[in-house]
Amino acid sequence: MAFSLRKSSNSGSVGLDIDGRYLAAAQVVDGRVTRAASQNLPEGLMRDGEVVDAQALGQHLKSFAAATNLPRNVRLGVVNQQIVVRVVELPRIEDDNQRDAAVRFQASEAIAMPLDEAVLDHQVAGFTTAHDGTPRMQVVLVAARRKMIDSLLEAVKAAGLKVDGIDLDAFALVRALAPSSAGSDPDEPQQEARVFCHLAGVTNLAIAVGSTCYFTRPLSAVWDDEDAGSQLADEIRLSIDYYMTQPQAKPVGEVVLSGPGSAEPTLPENLETHLGIPVRVPAPLGRIDASSLGPNEDPNRYTVAAGLSLGAAA
């Protein structure tokens, strides 16, 4: 199974979020959730976004799929420390093969892992012009440890499911929650960056301009710990500082919270006080119509799964 960031024709397929605390599956068709199901996961199957026991996780996935009558084909998301995202700037290259070769060469310097142990992909995020007038392009480069991907695929295949694609949770998050007015052209002078912080089994951070994600990392701070606001603020601030060292970085205008932790009543205000940046909690699925979710369903569980279902790279 190839790891891919590229535009997919699988829009409307089932997105499966294997969070450390729960499973969540969602299918989105024509901007509306048509199918959704969630189930808690016991401890010990996942740790920090990585599979610990593939066979046991496979059995839970199998029973989950059977109980909820899920379609066999799913799209997966990943978030853990075995993923590296970098933005590199290269001369503008129109030929696909030449661009792929140039990106792979650049990856050998930008990615701190052996490329033969990694699953690698890239996406052209925007175009710029150097001071001397030379056309340049910004490329979002992603590498994931092959062993980590293989463990996830082992669990999913043990459940009898077929993987249509693998994406970053961060990209799915941005895809679901980026405002409709947010374009994807990072060269627009009035564009600001947004921090998306998903508070679930793994606290996941993404920084995007419009609908394009330029930086992501899992955070060690846990949203339901004591003094979570201060700890999260410190890690968000460090992430913003790192993002701002990237070429063509835009100032961050707001922080957007999602996931089960976003329902904590005092956390947004606490974070805003510590960060000095507006903190917003949007509808859990953004612009996606979630009216079909049952009254006992927590819509905050489905943000990533819905974003995965949408299928097109952010």
Domains of the chain (ranges, CATH numbers):
1-79+147-314 (3.30.420.40), 83-145 (3.30.1490.300)
Q: Indicate the pTM of the whole model.
A: 0.90
Sign of CA pseudo-dihedral 173, 175, 181, 186: positive
Q: Mean pLDDT per segment of 10 residues, for the chain of length 314 residues? A: 43 84 95 94 94 96 93 94 91 92 88 87 87 90 94 96 94 92 52 95 95 93 87 96 89 97 94 96 96 92 96 46
> What is the C-alpha separation between 299 and 303, in angstroms, rounded?
7
Give the pLDDT of residue 208.
96
Strands (E), 30-101: 32-40, 46-47, 50-51, 73-78, 83-91
Residue 234, SS3 per DSSP: helix
Q: How far apart are CA 260 and CA 305, in angstroms?
A: 13
304, 169 Cβ separation under 8 angstroms = yes
Tell me which amino acid residue 129 is: T
Q: Which helix (H) or strand (E) holds 194?
A: strand 193-199
What the block records as the tokens of 232 is: 């999260």
Cα 124 to Cα 136: distance, rounded to the nearest angstrom: 11
How many CA within 13 A on the CB side of residue 151? 19
Using alpha carbons, select from 305, 225, 226, 224 the residue that is nearest to residue 261: 224
Residue 230: what pLDDT? 93
